A and B are shown apart, each in its own frame.
Chain A
Amino acid sequence: MEAIKTVGLTKKYKDVTAVCNLNLTIQQGELFSLLGVNGAGKTTTIKMLSCLTKPTVGDAFLGGNSIVSDTSKVKAIIGVSPQETAVAPNLTVKENLELMCGVHGFSKEKRKHKTEELSAQFNLTDILGRKAGKLSGGWQRRLSIAMALISEPEILFLDEPTLGLDIIARSDLWDVIRLLKGKITIILTTHYLEEAEALSDHIGIMKDGRLFALGTADELKEKAGTDKFEEAFLNIVKGVAK
């Protein structure tokens, strides 16, 4: 079953085309990675899919709901963890989780249940009383993803979730994402190619706002005529691939 289907999705800013005629289908429960160099259009794509910006042309359907005409239905089934750490710094970890429960209109009982569940799932129980602004980057990212998941989304957008993290924090966070795999549809943007290769069901490579290549990691390597994913990525982006 399709979780996301984009139809000619395009975003223009004055004379710059950030995303051009994107046609893409992502199946339910997939972990789909969107790769590309800076300015490739990954974040703009995620912003359009999460109803943060309207497409100039085209549409996308999340769970069958249009991002143009059914934004409230789309918002009800998505969770977003933005590129920057988006937590309320003077609230505690628990209050941040409760804030997300509250803005989604959860009852008191459900709020308590979801806070406990996510705290346990993300190992946040011991730091529930600490202010989010005082946590390390890795823990803030972990909290940020927990906040995105608290509404029980069908589709989770993770925009550069490991950006700026040290190797340990990055590894921990990838373990968390690995646990989520298969349970919900995950759309991920990242610069860490080896991790995208290891985790993704399908990978899309963008350049200059266009989808340059699409397939599994093995298919992309085959297409690029190499057995190394990093080399395959470079060949595709530089236009060397077949």
Chain B
Amino acid sequence: MRLLTFSWRTAKEILRDPLNLGFGLGFPIILILLLSAIQANVPVSLFEIQSLTPGITVFGLSFMTLFSATLIAKDRESALLQRLYTTPLRAVDFILGYALPILPIALVQSIICYIVAILLGLPVTVTIIYSVLFIIPVSLFFISLGLLFGSILNVKQAGGICGALLTNLTAWFSGVWFDLELVGGFFKKIANALPFVHAVELERAVLSGNYGDIFPHIYWVLGYTAVSVIVAVLLFLRQMGTQK
């Protein structure tokens, strides 16, 4: 009951911010439309709808980090969290109350991306449903990053780190915009050590129905998700203590 109340509040705060809706839902759609238009004029295999859509769904999740981090940082600055710490809400209510409501938002974002992709020619197959389901662990990674950054950054820093740095990292190191093989070398090694390209490759493998190809990418995604969840929880608990 208490968790549900707090979760509803999180969802309302995020969904009532027009900037969140614009960036979270509008921007990925614009990217699919724009890159598909480029692909129509100058064919590039990377921008074919089967390859592009999984990449955009992963890229769009970086905005979930921004939503989550900004909301938590705002609550800390406005002392709303301080007020709520004097109520019977427990630490687990806060952590789940911030994280869980963003999961359905992330899923809706992915579904909208796939609907747009279908309108642009993506064949309708059952693998689309699987792709949406496989977005859950990837979403948890980005959501826990939001909890993590929201626990240590102020609103301005959260906007900069999550809104600019993370979205760029996700874009550059995910292999969505350009083939990492073309750059190669150190850049490719860094990209492969980060979870973004693995999340995209995982989604591409699921969408194409080549389930054998989800390995080893799923291990990278699950590993990063587990680590980021643990670090996020620890940092949130620490900030609960220090803010108190």
Contact = CB atoms under 8 A, between A and B. Distances in A.
Contact of B9 (A76, A84, A91, A144): A91
A119 interface: no
Interface in B56-103: 74, 77-80, 82-89
A60 interface: no
**Size class of B's contact patch?**
20 to 34
A86 B2 contact: no
B88 A72 contact: yes
A51 B87 contact: no
A103 B4 CA distance: 9
Interface in B1-54: 1-2, 4-6, 8-9, 12-13, 16-17
Given A78-B86, A80-B83, A52 B78 contact: no
A87 B82 CA distance: 11
Interface residues of A, number: 37
Contact of A103 (B5, B12, B79, B244): B5
B87 A104 contact: yes
Nearest to B87: A103
Given A83-B79, A102-B4, A105-B1, A88 B86 contact: no
A85 B79 contact: yes
Contacts of A85: 78-79
Nearest to A151: B87
B85 A91 contact: no
Contact of A82 (B9, B12, B79): B79
Contacts of A114: none
A87 to B, nearest CB: 7
Nearest to A52: B244
B16 to A, nearest CB: 4
B13 A86 contact: no
B88 A76 contact: yes
A35 to B, nearest CB: 21
A86 B5 contact: no
Given A90-B12, A95-B12, A105 B2 contact: yes
A87 B78 contact: yes
Contacts of A50: 86
B78 A89 contact: yes
Interface in B109-140: none
Nearest to A74: B86
Contact of B6 (A54, A101, A102): A102
Nearest to B13: A90
B80 A86 contact: yes
Nearest to B10: A88
B22 to A, nearest CB: 15
A68 interface: no
A88 B1 contact: no
A162 to B, nearest CB: 16
B82 A103 contact: no
Given A84-B79, A85-B79, A52 B12 contact: no
Contacts of A75: 86-88
The 6 closest A-B pairs by CB, nearest first: A102-B5, A84-B79, A86-B83, A86-B79, A82-B79, A90-B16
Given A84-B82, A90-B13, 9 more contacts: A50-B86, A51-B86, A54-B244, A75-B86, A82-B79, A82-B82, A85-B78, A86-B82, A102-B2
25 contacts: A47-B244, A51-B86, A80-B83, A80-B86, A82-B79, A84-B77, A84-B78, A84-B79, A86-B78, A86-B83, A87-B78, A88-B13, A88-B80, A90-B16, A91-B13, A98-B5, A99-B6, A103-B5, A103-B6, A103-B84, A105-B1, A105-B2, A105-B88, A131-B16, A151-B87
